[in-house]
Chain A
Amino acid sequence: MIERWALISGLKGDLDTYELIQKDLKKTPGNITLFVLGDMIGPEKNCNKLLHRLINPKSNDLQPWCIYGWWEEQILLESGYRGNQRAEALRINKGEEVVKSLINAVDKSFLDWIAALQFGFVELDCGLIHGSSKDVGDDLTLDTPPLTLLDRLTRLQVNRLFTARSTQQFHLELTEGILNSEVHDLTGNHKKEQKVPQKAVIGVGAGKNYTLYDVGTDNTQFVRAGYQSEKKKNGFGLHF
């Protein structure tokens, strides 16, 4: 049986999209594990029904494994779960109204569940995180300098880093490289040549755009919910 991961993020309270993804995944061959990489909530719509469904999956739902994202961090900050800090970045960038909308979008009874979510998962040699190993708000994209990407992979000691914060779908593989290091200290000179290990950063997308990862073959497939079944005969889906 093929082992696959479905990686979704950025639902922001959208239960319809979640149901569409669940429907897609039921038709997807293989043994699928569903990871929700944060931003289950957002200020635009009421998130309670989606949160209830994530916590209490229907009997035929794939069990979702959730971590917290940037929007969860904001509500935890604003609700006093991070000591004296408040959601100042959100307040400055989006204004007081958005802070209020976020608070109103999530019933307080869900906050303990959100607060208990993990920052990320490490599965096999892969890191699954909303932003990066540095910060939940770290926005990794195709344009992020490779040195930065390598740093984020190195911090977590993984070969694959799945990230969601940018909302983009991409697969960036570090294929080769070299760096000479010479250290001079009180004992003398020490030279070393370091090579870039083969590693990759994968942007999983957001909302209806999600990613399937074939654990056995290391293939990544970018999918749009509801589109896969309709267009499958046309070969949609990017294999990498």
Chain B
Amino acid sequence: MTYQKAKSIEKVSTFEATSAFACTALGLFVLLITALVGCDEGERSSTEMGINDEYFSSSEMIDNLVSERLTNLTVDFSEALTRLESSVTNLSTASQDESWSIAQAAFKDTILAWEVVEVFQLGPLGSVSNVELGQSLRAAIYSYDAFKACTVDVNLVNGRYLNEGFIAGQTYDSQGLLAVEQLLFAPVNENLCPSTSPINREGSFAALAEEDRLVRRKAYLAVLLDGVREALDTIEGVWPSYLIELNNYTSSEGAFMDYRDVLEDLYVALFYVETYVKDRKLGRVLGLYEPCTDDVCPKLLELYHSGLSGFSIRENLGAFFDLYIDANAKTGFDAWVESVAGSDRATLIRDEANQAKSSCALLPDSLRPILESGRGSEGFDVIETCFNNLQTMLTTYKAELPSLLGVNPPMESASDTD
């Protein structure tokens, strides 16, 4: 074979090899694409894409929320608070007097109206760090979970509540409705401080006569209710401007960039139910979460003295479900899911929510007797079922809503993504 011929053969084979390589590579690429596109990463079916107005309208949801819920959010609470203020003014200094029962009934109306407001931790009511225009004003009225009962008894003994500017000088954890509950319902001859506390160690609490304690309670209650009223006035003062901002979500100059900003704040309600209702109001007393170290912990119940722990959870969840499940109108989160993922998916989410709703609706007004009777007592399974169904529902909500709807947990928007 001559050198030229060999060179020519080499060229041809190089060309052929190159062409074969290119064809093979192209073929493999096509096969790869076909295979990868054809093979599922997981089952799916085609879905109607885009917001489907048939199921959901974000503007209707926001309009409905503002007009039906938020505009008059604190009205019931304010009216009940007025009745409570009036009943406290009429309190007698005899513990068995009917005036105390009247004040206690007024408190029940007040706290239950508040438990609805409590779920809507939006704008001025919400946390500074969690929602748009948050001012944490809610804490001055209700500070469940951070409340320090002993401080209330210490103040009762030393009479500091009579000082000018007492409320302003107090931290939120010893004022508001829980302090009112304690003074209205807790046994007059007991206090909630440990034996090592000065009021017990030095005997200053024991030195007070029962009548004196009741006089002090009445005066202290009036001061506390003044504080609650002042906090409510502050909220009601800024609330209309918040609603204007909320309604102004279509304008790029407002606090809310678009409808998603508003809906994301509403999504925060979910985390109230997650951390407060499920974990604390139910999980802790069931012995599932710290700081409960016993089998069950009735002492950690919300509204322990008034015996409204079950009632308050029902009110919380009622408000929450109004927001999240609204099968008849196009204004609930379930309707939003339906518009994105179809009715069957929405039905599944609704079913879990309805299961939680119906099981928690069976909670008795007070969980205390059941928990004090211990695990296995009659009615205990009702509390456990409510907790378990809430957990199932919230697991789905937390795992699926951010993916389906693009909503984020509080302050998830800090920083960028990917």
Partners in one complex: no
Binding site for A on B (CB under 8 A): none
